[in-house]
Amino acid sequence: MKAVLYIHGRGGSPGEAEHYKALFPGCFVTGLDYQSATPWDAGKEIKEAVMKLKKQYGGITLIANSIGAFFALHSGADSLTDKAYFISPVIDMEKLILGMMLQAGVTEDELKEKGTVITKSGEILSWDYLTYVRENPVNWSGPAEILYGSGDNLTDIETVKAFANKINAKLTVMEGGEHWFHTQEQMAFLDKWIINNQDKEKTKMNEIIKAMEERRSIRKFRPDMPAKEQIDEILNAGLYAANGRGMQAAIAIAVTNKEQRDKLADINRRIGGWAEGFDPFYGAPVIIIVLADKSCPTYIYDGSLMMGNLMLAAHSLGLGSIWIHRAKEEFEMPEYKAMLKELGIEGEWEGIGHCALGFIDGDMPAAAGRKDGRIYRID
């Protein structure tokens, strides 16, 4: 069972999470009754709640609304969640604070001197709050969706578009929608938005299983180089591999320089004991070397999982790949230890493997039959 954590906006309550139970059947859905009013403290509360749920349920989906989304974006919980749904997120808090100051006739010098100012409308202006949002812009590195109403009076469309592009999130705009999604029409739009995204996730999962079944090790590549965007997408997929204790102990070095690639191939050949002229990378123009931090107790597993992600990502983009060994021996050599230092990589690292990739030269190899008797059950 997975968990869904709801973060309410200003004036809301954790009880609003009840609405989402029907949208996430089979999941534990709960709302966070956070007590803090600052992004640094509320962010801590959110991260602690996410960590607690993750220990109990594993997978976490975050739904955050308005100022709750702003706090979530300061929580550092992005690496702990599977997916985030941000509803009318407050993004440019500095602009909102400066607007309130202007309306109240409070200058920056006055606010800095007094620390806090309570306006006639009851708003509390804080110099510490203003300083914090200036020094800590909102960010999110995990998968995310953003829902925005065209009538939002707190965040303009250009700001939300720029933020969506920055964090690589899909932006959905409801024409006529408000900052507060509350009418029957608006809530129906919100529900459909979540349901449609869940359907896409299910389809994506089926595509992942299909890629697992269809991927093959390729031993003949064309010399032409894949696009940089394809290589970057594959590298990024590697970063999302499962890892022990969330330590993210594995790193990747992409070698596309032909001279360096050929030098690496020759060293690998000599370690493997093959005759001169043999290419252990089978002509692949791109070599992604995966290494892992030996100080992490799960480093071999973490690096292996990254290798798996790289190969699956390559297949999904129409490229071939193969895992080539002997990276361990290579990075025990002084010249490759020196290369790590030149790249600014400090510490003790072990080579896990090379993901050789490129365009397939010829047909995709047929799959070997799966051996029987490899699955056991304890019911």
10-residue mean pLDDT profile of the chain (379 residues): values are 94 96 93 97 97 89 98 95 96 96 94 93 94 96 95 96 94 96 96 90 76 93 95 96 95 98 97 97 98 97 98 94 98 95 96 97 86 93
The DSSP secondary structure of 81-99, one letter per residue, reads -SEEEEES----HHHHHHH
Q: What is the pLDDT of residues 38-92, one digit of tens each?
A: 999 999 999 999 999 998 887 899 999 999 999 999 999 998 999 999 999 999 9
SS3 (DSSP) at 251: strand
Whole-structure pTM over 0.75, yes or no? no
Q: Report the CATH superfamily, name and number, of domain 228-358.
A: NADH Oxidase (3.40.109.10)
**CA–CA separation, 53 and 226 (whole Å):** 41
Paired tokens of 229: 């965007």
CATH fold of 3-91+138-206 reads Rossmann fold (3.40.50)
Paired tokens of 166: 């920055």
**Domain-wise residue ranges, the chain:** 3-91+138-206, 228-358
What are the backbone dihedrals phi and psi of residue 104, each rounded to the nearest 5 degrees, phi first? -90, -5
